C-alpha cells in the first residue's frame, strides 16, 4: 500500500518472476521483497495456535521487512529497524496523539496483554489494529507491520485475512479511526478475499 511507487503489475512481476522495475528505486523493491518474506513468516508461525504474538516477534517482522533494503541502500531506510522509534511522530491530516518514544515499549506490552493473538474475533482484530497504529512503534512501516499482525491474528483464529487493496486506501484510512467502522471495512475486505479464492 504505502511506501512504494511500484504499480500492482510491477509488484506482481517482482514477486512472481523476480523481475525488477528498471525505472523504480531499488530500495522500494527490496522492501516489497522483505514484506513478502515477512508474510511467509507470518503464515508459517500463525499456523501454530500456541505461538502468541510478543514484542520480540513484532520487532523481528519489522526487521525482516527492511533488512535487505538496509544492507543495499541504507540511506533510504528509516532507522532503527527491528527496534522502536526514538523520536516523536505525527500522522499528517489526522488528529491522533501517537505514543511518546519512552512509552512505546510499555504501550505495546499492555496491548499484547489485553489481546492474546490466538483468542480474537474480527472486532478484536479491528480494535487491536487501531490501537497498534496509535502506538506507531517504528520509524517507518507501521501500517505494513500492523496489517501483517492482523493477518497473523486472522489465521490463528480461523478468519480469512482481509484483503486491503490500494483502491480502498482512503476508505481504510477513514475506518481506522473507529473500531466499528474498521470492523465493517474488514468484513467487506474478507468478502473480497473470498471472491478471489472462489
Tell me which DSSP letter residue 76 carries.
Answer: G
pLDDT 10s digits, 100-158: 999 999 999 999 999 999 999 999 999 999 999 999 999 999 999 999 999 999 999 99
Angle between helices 55-72 and 26-46 (to 10 degrees): 150
Question: Smallest Cα–Cα separation from 183: which of 134, 138, 150, 143?
Answer: 150
pTM: 0.94
Indicate the domain borders of the chain. 8-197
Q: What's the pLDDT score for residue 4? A: 82
Q: 104 with 80: CB under 8 angstroms?
A: no
Q: Is the pLDDT of residue 176 over 70?
A: yes
Q: 129 with 175: CB under 8 angstroms?
A: no
Euclidean distance between CA atoms 60 and 160, whole angstroms: 23
Per-residue pLDDT band at 1 (split at 50, 70, 90): low
Per CATH, the homologous superfamily of domain 8-197 is Fido-like domain (1.10.3290.10)
Angle between helices 104-114 and 122-135 (to 10 degrees): 170
Tell me which DSSP letter residue 49 carries.
Answer: T
Per-residue pLDDT band at 52 (split at 50, 70, 90): very high
Q: How far is CA 67 from its chain centroid?
A: 16
Q: How far is CA 128 from its chain centroid?
A: 12
Mean pLDDT of 14-30: 92
Q: What's the pLDDT score for residue 48? A: 95
Q: 137 with 110: CB under 8 angstroms?
A: no
Q: Is the pLDDT of residue 63 over 80?
A: yes
pLDDT 10s digits, 2-20: 668 898 899 999 999 999 9
- Cell 520487532 locates to 59
Amino acid at each position: 500500500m504505502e511506501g512504494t511507487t511500484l504499480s500492482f503489475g510491477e509488484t506482481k512481476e517482482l514477486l512472481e518472476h523476480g523481475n525488477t522495475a528498471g525505472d523504480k528505486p531499488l530500495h522500494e523493491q527490496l522492501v516489497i521483497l522483505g514484506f513478502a518474506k515477512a508474510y511467509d513468516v507470518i503464515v508459517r508461525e500463525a499456523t501454530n495456535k500456541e505461538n502468541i504474538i510478543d514484542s520480540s516477534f513484532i520487532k523481528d517482522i519489522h526487521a525482516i521487512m527492511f533488512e535487505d533494503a538496509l544492507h543495499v541502500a541504507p540511506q533510504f531506510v528509516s532507522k532503527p529497524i527491528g527496534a522502536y522509534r526514538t523520536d516523536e511522530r505525527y500522522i499528517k491530516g489526522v488528529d491522533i496523539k501517537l505514543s511518546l518514544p519512552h512509552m512505546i515499549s510499555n504501550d505495546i506490552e499492555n496491548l499484547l496483554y489485553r489481546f492474546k493473538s490466538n483468542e480474537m474475533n474480527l472486532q478484536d482484530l479491528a480494535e487491536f489494529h487501531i490501537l497498534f497504529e496509535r502506538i506507531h512503534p517504528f520509524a517507518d512501516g507501521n501500517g505494513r507491520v500492523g496489517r501483517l499482525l492482523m493477518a497473523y491474528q486472522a489465521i490463528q483464529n480461523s478468519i480469512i485475512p482481509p484483503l486491503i487493496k490500494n483502491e480502498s486506501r482512503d476508505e481504510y484510512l477513514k475506518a481506522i479511526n473507529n473500531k466499528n467502522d474498521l470492523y465493517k471495512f474488514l468484513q467487506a475486505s474478507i468478502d473480497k478475499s473470498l471472491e478471489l479464492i472462489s
